[in-house]
Structure 1
Amino acid sequence: MTTHPTAGPTAHPTTHPTTLPQRDPAAAAAERPRPLVARSSLVDRLFLLVARAGGTLVLAVMVSLGGYLALRASGALRTAGLSFLTTQEWNPDAGRGHFGIAAVLTGTVLIGAIAVSLALPLALGCALYISEYAPRRLKRTLIGLVDLMAAVPSVVYGLWGFVLLQYQLAGTARWISTYLGWIPLLKVTGTDPDDPLSPPTVYVASSAMAGTVVAFMITPIMCSIMREVFDQAPAGEREGAYALGSTRWGMIRSVVLPFGRGGVIGGTMLGLGRALGETISVYLILSMHFEIRWHVLQTGGSAVAPLIALRYGDSSPFAISALMAAGLALFLLTLVVNFAAAAVVARSRSGAAS
């Protein structure tokens, strides 16, 4: 009988550290991705040159315009000092403390705010209807009409508002002051709204009337910008919303509006910039009063651009310097609005939330 020796303790195999093969540096360098060098053609270089020249020219024009206004306004600013920002009166020839932009700058902001408040819902609703609801044949007609309205000169809107609109809206202004006069902005002093014999002229030539006319002017521009952005909403996400059972309004709320947020903000700020600098239509409607008037429904108001148009022709050299200072303030205000709009749009790019 053959006997086998008893196996001892289980022997563990001896492990040896694995050594990685050394790579050839030349081979490793050969495996690295080669940098891609784009060889631009002559057309690309020309396009880049034209784009840089255009950007530089725009920047140079803005700097030159600001420098010219600052140079011409330096005499009035040195004379007025900080009182230029706090004085409501406008009589530059009387000297320091008798001219300033407190009233006209406040009136400019009020008219611009009224115009944007009225134009934003109109432009947004019109853009959504043209983009999402209008039939194809009607859509082309509406686009042409909106673009045509944007091309109408401002003096036409001003004449329309001066001759017809403000007198037609006097009754509406009286109704608002009667029932909403407890709001400080909508209060009208010096008249009894319940008196049927009170003259309607107290409700015309006001900041509200001027803002209403400017709102009709900026609505087509805002609508065109918003519509173009809404039309670029991705078709795949539209169809996906419908596939999930969404209604048309649900698709608009979840896809189109988030995608077009930047366009809405950009169009609104562009309209505000034009409203702040509007001259002839506000000049035709507004009755200039050099005092801060928060009652926007009451006759009288002020703005920077109509002030320059009203006083430039018969002003002394020092008064022209004061008008240049007012123009410089309007220029800086417009720049602040545009830079703020650019910052907001950059944080809410179209399509970022869709």
Structure 2
Amino acid sequence: MRRSAFRRSRGDGPFRFASTGAGVVLLAIMAAIGVFLVVKAVPALQANTSHFLTELTWQPNATEPVFGIGALAFGTVLSSLLALVIATPVAVGVALFISHYAPRRLASVLGYVVDLLAAVPSVVYGLWGVAFLVPFMLGPSKFLNDYLGWIPLFGGDTVVGKSMLTASLVLAIMILPIIAAISREVFLQAPKMQEEAALALGATRWEMIRMSVLPFGRPGVISAAMLGLGRAMGETIAVALIFPATFKITFQVLGPYGNSIAANIANGFGEATEVGRGALIASGLVLFIITLLVNMAARFVIARRKEYARAAA
């Protein structure tokens, strides 16, 4: 007994030191990234002749630089939220089917497929979106515009394949495997005794899932959704191939409008001047801050509910 306790005490110190050091290093890396972005962005912001947060024009390479993050930030947030709204219900349904409905062999195969989809490079999704989804979306987009045009999202006089909706669908397909894989693992960790007790009391399988599995897995689903939202906000190549690359704030997702911070960086970095590169880095700083705020909001949503915190623990 004493020897085992002594061994545990000897191992606790190095493990605590290693884990604390890893956390400190992570914070230091994040702080270094923030400092780098600020240092590189300040000269361009000083040369800017307009308000960086509200200006819709993006001309940092001009003789008198004029650029702003307004349209880019709006497009980033709107496309990511649309992707999240589309992907999350489907991902949760896939996770529930794999964890509680599908036969064991089928569930194993589907689990591998979901994991493989999460590993597909983003450029592959982008090329598939350009080659297949852009021409395919013309028909559904016209249908939505004709019959649901009274909704601001589907209004407008012009309908194109390269639109905000198409880019959001590609983002939704990209983040769906991530949300589904994490949600599946969380649902599999639900207490079996509670599930069996609900079934023994006469509950149907769906009632058992609604009363036992979903409340337990809600923090994990929220975390998975926020992780998917973070990837959608930072996605570059796929949306750069699909977005019309315009600078306009509008809720019309079927027209030739839309852009994002990451896509604008990918499209403009190669031809940017020194001020232009600083402007792109400044936009990256805004994306960095938005991502931090999203993750902080997710942690706040989980922590403010005691039952979520207990389940997450």
Range class of TM-score, shorter chain: over 0.9
User: Within the alignment, does 1:275 sit opposite 2:243 as a pair?
Assistant: no
User: Once superposed, what is the RMSD of the aligned Cα atoms?
Assistant: 1.9
Contiguous gaps of at least 5 residues in structure 2? none
Per the alignment, residue 97 of structure 2 pairs with: 129
- Amino acid in structure 2 at the alignment position of 1:235: K
Name the count of aligned residue pairs.
Answer: 306
Query: 1: distance between equivalents of 2:182 and 2:310?
Result: 15
User: Cα distance, 1:50 vs. partner?
Assistant: 1.6
Give the partner amino acid of 1:327.
G
Q: Note if contact 1:113-1:272 (Cα within 8 Å) is conserved in structure 2.
A: yes
Unpaired runs of 5+ in structure 1?
1-36, 191-201
Out of 237, 241, 244, the residue aligned to residue 284 of structure 1 is: 241
Query: What CA deviation, in whole Å up to 9, does each residue of 1:250-289 have, x standing for no partner?
Result: 0000000000110111111110010001000000111101
**Aligned twin of 1:338:** 295
Are 2:186 and 1:229 equivalent residues in the alignment? yes
- Equivalent residue in structure 1 for 2:28, among 60, 79, 84: 60
Structure 1 residues 82 and 336: CA distance shift in structure 2, 3 A: farther
1:133-282 equivalent positions in 2, closer than 5 A = 133-190=101-158, 202-282=159-239
Is residue 27 of structure 2 the alignment partner of residue 70 of structure 1? no
Question: C-alpha distance in 1, partners of 2:51/2:63?
Answer: 11
Higher mean displacement: 276-285 or 47-56: 47-56
Give me the TM-score of the superposition, normalised by structure 1.
0.83
- Give the AA of the match of 1:268: A
The alignment status of 1:313 with 2:270, answered yes or no, reads yes
Alpha-carbon deviation of 1:80?
A: 3.5
Does residue 84 of the first structure (1) align with residue 52 of the second (2)?
yes
Cα 1:38–1:328, aligned 2, differ >3 Å: closer, same or farther? farther
Contact 1:260 1:350 in 2 (8 A): no
Structure 1 residue identity aligned to 2:111: I
Give distance in 1, aligned partners of 2:311 and 2:269.
Answer: 48
Q: How many Å apart are 1:41 and its aligned residue?
A: 3.1
Q: Which residue of 2 aligns with 1:102?
A: 70
TM-score (norm 2): 0.93
Cα deviation, residue 185, structure 1 = 1.6
Alignment partners' CA distance in 2, 1:42 and 1:215 = 48
Contact preservation (8 Å) 2:127, 2:238: yes
Cα separation, partners in 2 of 1:82 and 1:56, compared to 1, 3 Å: farther
Amino acid aligned to 1:234 = P
SS in 1 for 2:52: helix
| Residues in 1 aligned to 2:145 and 2:81: alpha-carbon distance in whole angstroms | 19
Please tell me whether the aligned partners of residues 95 and 184 of structure 2 are also in contact (alpha carbons under 8 angstroms).
Answer: yes
Query: Residues 180 and 187 of structure 1 are in contact (CA less than 8 Å); yes or no, is this contact kept in structure 2?
Result: yes
State the AA in 1 paired with 2:279.
A
Q: Contact between 1:87 and 1:99, CA under 8 Å: does it hold in 2?
A: yes
Tell me the SS of whatever aligns to 1:73: helix
One-letter identity of the residue aligned with 1:222: I
- In the alignment, the residues of structure 1 paired with residue 194 and residue 135 of structure 2 have an alpha-carbon distance, to the nearest angstrom, of 48
Structure whose alpha-carbon radius of gyration is higher: 1
Residue 138 (structure 1) shift: 1.0
CA deviation map 1:284-309 (0-9, x unaligned):
11110112132111123111001111
- 2:47–2:65 Cα contact (<8 Å) kept: no
Residue 259 of structure 1 contacts residue 351 of structure 1 at CA under 8 Å; is this kept in 2?
A: no
1:77, CA displacement in angstroms?
A: 2.2
Contact preservation (8 Å) 1:207, 1:300: yes
Q: Are residues 38 and 296 of structure 1, via their aligned partners in 2, closer, same or farther at CA, if it must alter by over 3 Å? A: farther
Looking at structure 2, the residues matched to 148 and 352 of structure 1 have their Cα atoms a distance apart, in angstroms, of: 28
* Contact 1:130-1:227 at 8 Å conserved across structures: yes
Moved more, 339-348 or 61-70: 339-348
Question: CA offset at residue 96 of structure 1?
Answer: 6.5
Aligned equivalent of 1:197: none
Shift of residue 351, structure 1, vs aligned partner: 5.9
Shift of 1:81: 7.8
